[in-house]
């Protein structure tokens, strides 16, 4: 398996929001000259230990930067064969992974947590003429009928998985593959230098298979403590009320080939943000696709299926939404008469 929409988002940073709470992300608003996008960067993990591993090179020199200034603004999907534009923490010679250290998400004193570290360099790129951000990860959107849940622009569009995407624990193994790691590269032309920010979860391993990206059998196992220091206002998980997040739409029969284009739209009707890490959507045949991210209160998100999990039948069927405890949260049914090419079914 792998990330289906791995690529690079090139844009000028305009605004940002610090990550707080369980599954916190540092949110960056970028502009490509035509459209706006959001870069969602993990700064905290829901899986203990909560602190992410990070490494920053504030004078990054690597062949990968030679090709970046020539890229057009906006998102570019990177072919699997284009390894000169793909990141791999294990094989790519980007940096020494043994130098990665954990850093808390939010510490009361100034300038010493992961939120502030990322903000420092994003601010530099925003303030400098020609300053540019390159985010490596997986794209979502564009969501033509949904505004962005953090910055409000339309159409909703962005990139996430800005971290190592191999050596995952069993729950996330489907995302594993070599040469698809995320990260941030920031160009500061007035200072003639590049900044590189690389991130990984402590639950990941760095001894991975060259073909699958899975942890090798002899890979050291990360010992996860029963408790770890909690930051970013992390609270004990609360049960989410059934019906808080609902399925409001499904694109069952997209124009052209269905695979990789089918989607389901979720809406958070509750008064609070809902983290959907570990949630899943299931089709009528029992195939599932795992979910990640967060849906803000009163906002929605479109889930695009790769074709390797959920497949929506044109003959009609059932679509079910489960939380991370496998509780059924919402379910809808549709018939063949509701299926129209290129149209989204509204529930």
pLDDT digits (tens, 9 = 90+) for 100-152: 999 988 777 666 799 999 999 999 999 999 999 999 999 988 877 677 878 98
Query: What span, in angstroms and rounded, lies between the C-alpha atoms of 197 and 78?
Result: 20
Burial of 173 (0-12, 13-18, 19+ CB in 10 A): middle
Which has more confidence, 63 or 169? Answer: 63
Return the SS3 of 280: strand
pLDDT at 325: 79
Query: What span, in angstroms and rounded, lies between the C-alpha atoms of 184 and 159?
Result: 11
pLDDT at 234: 45
The length of the chain, given as a count of residues:
347
Bridge partners of 341, per DSSP, are none
Where exactly does CATH 2.60.40.1260 map onto the chain?
245-346
Which has more confidence, 259 or 217? Answer: 217
Q: What is the pLDDT averaged over residues 265-287?
A: 91
**Any idea which fold 245-346 has?**
Immunoglobulin-like (2.60.40)
pLDDT at 23: 66
pLDDT at 272 over 90: no
Which of 216-225, 228-237, 238-247 is predicted with the least confidence, judged by mean pLDDT?
Answer: 228-237
* Share above pLDDT 90 across residues of the chain, in percent, rounded to a whole number: 67
pLDDT at 288 over 80: yes
Neighbours of 225 (CB within 10 A): 9
Name the band, by pLDDT with cuts 50, 70 and 90, for residue 259: confident
pLDDT at 111: 67
pLDDT at 50: 86
Query: Whole-model pTM?
Result: 0.76
pLDDT at 6 over 60: yes
End-to-end CA distance of the chain: 31
Q: What is the mean pLDDT of the chain?
A: 89
pLDDT at 158: 92
Which two structure tokens, joined as six digits, stand for 200?
A: 């990984």
Q: What is the pLDDT averaged over residues 33-50?
A: 90
């Amino acid at each position: 398996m792998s990330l289906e929409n791995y690529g690079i988002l090139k844009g000028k940073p305009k605004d940002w929001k610090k990550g707080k709470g369980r599954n916190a992300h540092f949110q960056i608003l970028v502009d490509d000259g035509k459209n706006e996008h959001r870069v969602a960067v993990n700064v905290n993990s829901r899986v203990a230990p909560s602190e992410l591993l990070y490494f920053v090179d504030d004078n990054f020199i690597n062949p990968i930067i030679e090709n970046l200034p020539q890229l057009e603004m906006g998102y570019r999907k990177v072919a699997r064969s284009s390894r000169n534009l793909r990141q791999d923490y294990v094989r790519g010679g980007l940096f020494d992974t043994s130098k990665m250290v954990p850093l808390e998400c939010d510490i009361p004193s100034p300038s010493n947590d992961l939120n502030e570290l990322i903000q420092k360099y994003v601010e530099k790129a925003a303030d400098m003429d020609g300053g540019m951000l390159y985010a490596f990860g997986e794209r979502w959107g564009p969501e033509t009928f949904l505004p962005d849940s953090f910055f409000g622009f339309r159409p909703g569009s962005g990139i996430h998985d800005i971290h190592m995407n191999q050596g995952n624990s069993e729950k996330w193994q489907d995302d594993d593959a070599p040469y698809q790691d995320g990260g941030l590269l920031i160009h500061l032309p007035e200072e003639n230098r590049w900044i590189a920010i690389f991130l990984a979860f402590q639950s990941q391993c760095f001894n991975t298979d060259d073909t699958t990206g899975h942890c090798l059998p002899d890979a050291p196992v990360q010992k996860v403590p029963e408790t770890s220091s909690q930051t970013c206002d992390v609270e004990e998980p609360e049960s989410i009320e059934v019906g808080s997040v609902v399925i409001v739409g499904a694109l069952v029969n997209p124009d052209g080939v269905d695979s990789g284009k089918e989607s389901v739209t979720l809406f958070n009707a509750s008064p609070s943000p809902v983290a959907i890490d570990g949630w899943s959507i299931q089709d009528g045949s029992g195939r599932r696709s795992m979910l990640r991210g967060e849906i803000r209160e009163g906002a929605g998100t479109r889930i695009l299926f790769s074709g390797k999990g959920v497949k929506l039948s044109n003959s009609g069927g059932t679509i079910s939404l489960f939380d991370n405890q496998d509780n059924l949260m919402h379910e809808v049914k549709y018939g063949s008469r509701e299926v129209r090419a290129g149209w989204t079914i509204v529930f």
